[in-house]
A = this chain, B = another copy of it.
Amino acid sequence: MNISRPSRRVYDELRKVSISRNFTESAAASVLIEFGKTKVICAASLRNSVPRFLQGKNVGWLTAEYGMLPSATSERTEREAAAGKQTGRTIEIQRLIGRSLRQCVNLNRLGERTIQVDCDVIQADGGTRTASITGACVAVCDALRKRNIQGVFDGWVSAISVGIYAGVPILDLDYAEDFKASTDMNVVCKQNKGFVEIQGTAEAEPFPRKDLDELLRLAELGTSRLYELQEEAMVDRSALEE
């Protein structure tokens, strides 16, 4: 595939991904994930209650919220708290994060507890929702380990964006690539299990089945690399020593 990406990466190449645990001390677990210049603080907290619709059923819950600092984009983004409401985009993303991460835990074994995930973007360069899911899964794993809650974490869930740029399917789009892509797809997978979420949109022309098949292949490839990085993050030496 002969293509010149703005990022100079080859079509199936991820950006440099870095996952750092213990970014702050305040939450049960706090992870800084970087997909190139995209940086997201992913935190997991635990509380000993569940939403009303689950009370008395002896199951747990996981929910997620997403935000972006106004300073995270080169043109400042309006602060949602000041505007008095979350945008439609934010609501869509946090619902996606929540649904995806409920696949990485066994809620039946959690007891009447809620895992609250917060993903806050401090620098945005494309792929903030997929970075959020990937990083927050590490934060959930870490929070459960730190609180010594066993048998709940159920496997790695990671996410990556794919898209069609200049007619060619590519992996992990940064902002410049996403801006010009004719199709944008976010895919969430679970290790050894399969697809958790697929959200694909034809920004310009509809896409044929053949391109779709290649996008799905790239997404499987990308998420399989991310599982390894998630795994590595959990054995990181400095974290262990702390």
B residues in contact with A45, CB < 8 Å: 70-71, 76
A21 lies within 8 A of chain B by Cβ: no
A85 lies within 8 A of chain B by Cβ: yes
A99 lies within 8 A of chain B by Cβ: yes
Q: Are B92 and A79 in contact (CB under 8 A)?
A: no
Q: Which residue in B26, B27, B74, B81 is a CB contact (below 8 Å) of A26?
A: B74
A9 lies within 8 A of chain B by Cβ: no
Could you tell me the distance between the alpha carbons of A95 and B124 in the complex, rounded to whole angstroms?
A: 22
Could you tell me the distance between the alpha carbons of A76 and B63 in the complex, rounded to whole angstroms?
A: 13
Number of copies of this chain that the complex holds: 6
A214 lies within 8 A of chain B by Cβ: no
Flag the segment in A10-18, A48-56, A126-134, A192-200 that touches B.
Answer: A192-200
A24 lies within 8 A of chain B by Cβ: yes
Q: Which residue in B85, B95, B199 is a CB contact (below 8 Å) of A81?
A: B85
Could you tell me the dominant secondary structure of chain A's interface residues?
Answer: mixed
Number of interface residues of A (CB under 8 A): 63
A103 CB to nearest chain B CB (Å) = 6
A95 CB to nearest chain B CB (Å) = 5
**Nearest-CB residue, chain B, relative to A24:** B123
B residues in contact with A220, CB < 8 Å: 209
Would you list which residues of chain A between 103 and 162 have a CB under 8 Å from chain B? Answer: 103, 116, 118, 120, 122-124
A231 lies within 8 A of chain B by Cβ: no
B residues in contact with A208, CB < 8 Å: 194-195
Q: Are A65 and B79 in contact (CB under 8 A)?
A: yes
**Nearest-CB residue, chain B, relative to A68:** B81
B residues in contact with A39, CB < 8 Å: 24
B residues in contact with A189, CB < 8 Å: 206
A69 lies within 8 A of chain B by Cβ: yes
A76 CB to nearest chain B CB (Å) = 4
A242 lies within 8 A of chain B by Cβ: no
A37 lies within 8 A of chain B by Cβ: yes
Could you tell me the distance between the alpha carbons of A67 and B212 in the complex, rounded to whole angstroms?
A: 31
Could you tell me the distance between the alpha carbons of A80 and B118 in the complex, rounded to whole angstroms?
A: 13
Q: Are B67 and A81 in contact (CB under 8 A)?
A: yes
B residues in contact with A196, CB < 8 Å: 201-202, 206
